[in-house]
Homo-oligomer: A and B are copies of this chain.
Amino acid sequence: MRTDVTPMLAERTDLAIPVPYLVFIGDIQNPTDAKTGYGLVEWRRDWCAAQWRLPGCPVDLGLPELAPTAAHAAGARTLVIGVAPAGGRIPEHWMPALLEALRAGLNLAAGLHDRLANYPELVTAARASGVRLFDARQAPPGLVLPVGSGARRSGRRVLTVGTDCAIGKKYTALALERELRGRGVAADFRATGQTGVLISGGGLAIDAVVSDFVAGTVEMLSPAADLAHWDVIEGQGSLFHPAYAGVSLGLLHGAQADAIVLCHDTRRHCIDGYDNFPMPSVEECIALNLRLGALTQPAIQCVGISLNTQGMSAAQRQQACAELAERTGLPVTDPIAMGVQPIVDRLLQRCN
């Protein structure tokens, strides 16, 4: 433990990816590989100047088509790789396109396993053009991450937590941000995973941060703000996950959340990929998050449940939500199918 490091709130320097974006989808054949691209269009349409596809790409994000030079002339500042290529590596035949973008004066951003900075030709081209490479899975080189201070800070914060990984925490947080903004409430999504970083143009992939700095990094990503401002912090993992619970706890402590929203899927029986670890009940997951979260925010409360009901009929969905709402006394909704109005109603009613 770093008992010799002074707790501090560092400046959030160099975390912002310049917008607008030119969204690159290469020549992928399957729309599900373009999750980040579709997320950008869904959540940050204003930032998407155009898309750029290689010949033979049937996937279409519905954006205007522009090549790098034209996109740059139209104001685009960053080429975002909006797809996840198989294996997490950049296909060799994409390289000329990426170099063309750098030479056209665009920054380059991606959330691949493979770091952009590991490709010398990209580094050289970026340097020559005076543009930057953004690896959404990595802290920017030279950024000093802080140790958590635990100091109470101003502003409001809501954190999405989950019974498991990959259960809707990012989507729910983005939906909460949109609903709050739609009501005229100042709100900012705070990304803690690589897809969220690309979608929001900032934040850090918390699972790539050295363990001592997780809570402090979350403090840095959601700094003190106006009293009425809401940070909507993207959660990660689960307190019931045998590999990642520590990440979730550091995130919970750093968030100092006034409110949590629990994300769940009633049809999942085990932690994904861990057959010997049954899913926790909604009630015990909420209770443990509240108990542990109270260390840094004693007033923490749960204001709703986000239920993944993908594939259910409308009647099944209504029934699943109604049953869980009855059991817990909380608003329950599927943000994709039903929005998050009842959760935001509760949030603003209870935390104001």
**A206 contacts B by Cβ under 8 Å:** yes
> A211 contacts which of B1, B7, B207 (Cβ < 8 Å)?
B207
Question: Are A148's CB and B3's CB within 8 A?
Answer: no
> Within A198-230, which residues are at the interface with B (CB < 8 Å)?
206-212, 214-216
Instruction: Name the residue of chain B whose CB is nearest to the CB of A212.
Output: B207
Q: How far is the CA of A247 from the CA of B245 in the complex (A)?
A: 10
A275 shortest CB reach to chain B, Å: 10
Q: Which residues of B contact A248 (CB under 8 A)?
A: 246
Instruction: Name the residue of chain B whose CB is nearest to the CB of A238.
Output: B1
> A209 contacts which of B166, B211, B240 (Cβ < 8 Å)?
B211
Question: Are A212's CB and B247's CB within 8 A?
Answer: yes
A277 shortest CB reach to chain B, Å: 6
A244 shortest CB reach to chain B, Å: 5
A222 shortest CB reach to chain B, Å: 15
Q: Which residues of B contact A7 (CB under 8 A)?
A: 243, 273-274
> A214 contacts which of B193, B208, B211, B253 (Cβ < 8 Å)?
B211
Interface size on A, residues (CB 8 A): 48
Q: How far is the CA of A237 from the CA of B242 in the complex (A)?
A: 19
**A147 contacts B by Cβ under 8 Å:** yes
Q: How far is the CA of A276 from the CA of B296 in the complex (A)?
A: 10
**A76 contacts B by Cβ under 8 Å:** no
Q: How far is the CA of A3 from the CA of B84 in the complex (A)?
A: 14
Q: How far is the CA of A247 from the CA of B272 in the complex (A)?
A: 22
> Within A1-52, which residues are at the interface with B (CB < 8 Å)?
1-4, 7
Q: A1 and B246 in contact (CB under 8 A), knowing A207-B211, A208-B210, A211-B207?
A: no
**A68 contacts B by Cβ under 8 Å:** no
**A289 contacts B by Cβ under 8 Å:** no
A111 shortest CB reach to chain B, Å: 13
Question: Are B236's CB and A245's CB within 8 A?
Answer: no
Q: Which residues of B contact A236 (CB under 8 A)?
A: 1
**A185 contacts B by Cβ under 8 Å:** no
> Within A145-169, which residues are at the interface with B (CB < 8 Å)?
147-152, 165-166
Question: Are A165's CB and B1's CB within 8 A?
Answer: yes
Instruction: Name the residue of chain B whose CB is nearest to the CB of A291.
Output: B288
A258 shortest CB reach to chain B, Å: 17
Q: Which residues of B contact A216 (CB under 8 A)?
A: 243
> A215 contacts which of B166, B240, B243, B272 (Cβ < 8 Å)?
B243
**A196 contacts B by Cβ under 8 Å:** no
Instruction: Name the residue of chain B whose CB is nearest to the CB of A247.
Output: B211
Known: A207-B211, A208-B211, A215-B244. 20 other contacts (CB 8 A): A1-B165, A1-B193, A1-B237, A1-B243, A1-B247, A3-B272, A147-B243, A148-B243, A150-B274, A152-B276, A206-B211, A210-B210, A210-B211, A215-B243, A215-B246, A240-B295, A242-B295, A246-B253, A247-B250, A249-B249
Where the two chains meet, the residues of A that have a C-beta atom closer than 8 Å to any C-beta of B are 1-4, 7, 88, 147-152, 165-166, 193, 206-212, 214-216, 236-237, 240-251, 253, 272-274, 276-277, 292, 295-296
| Closest CB pairs A-B (n = 5) | A246-B250, A150-B242, A148-B243, A207-B212, A246-B246
- 11 A-B pairs with CB atoms under 8 Å apart are A1-B165, A1-B166, A1-B207, A1-B244, A7-B243, A148-B242, A150-B274, A150-B277, A209-B211, A243-B253, A246-B247
